[in-house]
Each structure stands twice: as structure tokens, then as C-alpha cells.
Amino acid sequence: VLAEPGQVDLPRLRQYPAAPGTRPEDPEEAKLEALRETYQDFVLELHKGMYLTQLTSNREYSDIHCQLMDDLQTLKLDQCNGDIVEFPLSGVAKVYRLVQSDGKLYTTSLSSTLPFASSAPYQSCEFIVVVDFLRRKLAFVFKELVASQRFLLCMELLTRSAQQLLPVPETGETLSSPAAVQSPWSCEPVAQMEVDLQAQEYVLHTPRPQE
């Protein structure tokens, strides 16, 4: 059971992304400590459980309860329909963000490695963070740019931590976000996103006890 932030540490990376509120000219030690604090706070919040908005396979919105298990490797989703869905974070292929505007989805080059930018250009948009398990995807919807950036950043770190616990050779790679990015507001349209939770290898159905 997690009780202290010190029980959680960053995964091993060759290069770490920027934390919210840091500047390029800040000392590396200060930037790393800010990132560590952001990550630890996120992990503790997720371990306690948080309510999020999910975009389902039929493009509907659903309020779900999301919680990180004690092993820090399993994400548990309560879909409020009698099922508990568990996803192993070690099975995440990538985490990325889309922007939805006027019913259309766009990719964005705004990487989690960039400083947390103003949300002014995106006031009328929704931000979708997709956790990709190769065969299926989890999509979480955020109204605020900064909230989506924090979730994207910390979820990438969390999945990398889970993957480093597997018995595989250490690669020492950076996060999946591209190191070189274009303008932070550069967007490209994408095809309709496939979002489906019914992946047998990742789903554990647990009937809720009758009250």
C-alpha cells in the first residue's frame, strides 16, 4: 500500500521530458526533481482512484473510476455497469494525444516533452489521451490542455516503469513522444479512432455483489 511519495521513483531513461512549470534554462537537477514530484503526485492520486471521462467504441462518453493497483503495474477501470476491467500497463505500446474539434479528430505535434503551454488556442477543443494496447485502445477525454498534458506525461512514465519490471534487456530509450516536434499548434486530421474495451487478454469481468 502506497503511503509516501518517496515510495515511487521515476523510470530509468536516457533523457527525461520537461515537467510542468519548468524552463529550459533551469538546472537539470531542479527540472528532474520537479518531474519526480509531478510523477509521484500523479501515481498517488491514481492509486487512490480518480474519476475520468472515457470515449467508448461507439463515440459515446462514459464516466469511469480509474485506479492503479498496489503492484503499480495494473490499471483497474470500474465502468459502473457491473464489470471491473483490468489492464496490464506492461502491455502498453504507446500513449498519445488527439484533439477533437467540431466532431473531427486531429493529431497534434504538441509533445509531453514541451513546456506546458497555454490552452488559449484550444479553448473550444477536447483533448483525448489514448493508451494503446496494440489490439485495443483506452481513450480518456479532458476539457483542459494542461490536464491532458499531465496525464499523458505521467502515464508514459508509469507504463515505462511497469515495462522495466519485466525480464527483458534494458533499452534505455526515451519516452515514445518524438524528440523533434513542429509548431505546438500544428494539427493533422486522422481517421475515426478505434476504441474498444472488449479485449479478452486484458479484460477481467467481476460481477458486482448484490446490495
Which three three-digit cell numbers place residue 113? Answer: 516533452
pLDDT value for 182: 29
**Predicted TM-score (pTM) of this structure:** 0.74
Residue 83 and residue 205: Cα distance in Å, rounded? 5
**Helix/strand/coil for 147:** helix
- Range with the largest mean pLDDT of 83-97, 110-124, 184-198: 83-97
CA-to-CA distance for 146 and 153, rounded, in angstroms? Answer: 10
Q: Which of 153, 131, 164 lies closest to 18, judged by CA?
A: 153
Longest dimension (CA), the chain: 57
Calculate mean pLDDT across residues 83-108: 86
pLDDT band at 171, cuts 50/70/90?
A: low
Do residues 175 and 17 make contact, with C-beta atoms less than 8 angstroms apart?
A: yes
**Using DSSP, how many helices (H) and how many strands (E) does the chain show?**
2, 9
Q: Identify the residue with better confidence: 71 or 57.
A: 71
Q: In what order do the strands lie in the sheet with 50-55?
A: 84-88, 74-78, 61-68, 50-55, 137-142, 126-132, 94-101, 104-108, 187-189
Amino acid at 5: P
**pLDDT digit string (tens) for 24-53?**
899 999 999 999 999 999 999 999 999 999
H or E stretch at 35: helix 28-48
Q: Dig out the grid coordinates for 137 from the structure.
A: 485502445
**pLDDT by residue (tens digit) across 105-160?**
787 654 433 344 444 555 678 999 999 987 889 999 999 989 999 999 999 999 99
Cell 493533422 sits on residue: 188
Cell of 193: 479512432
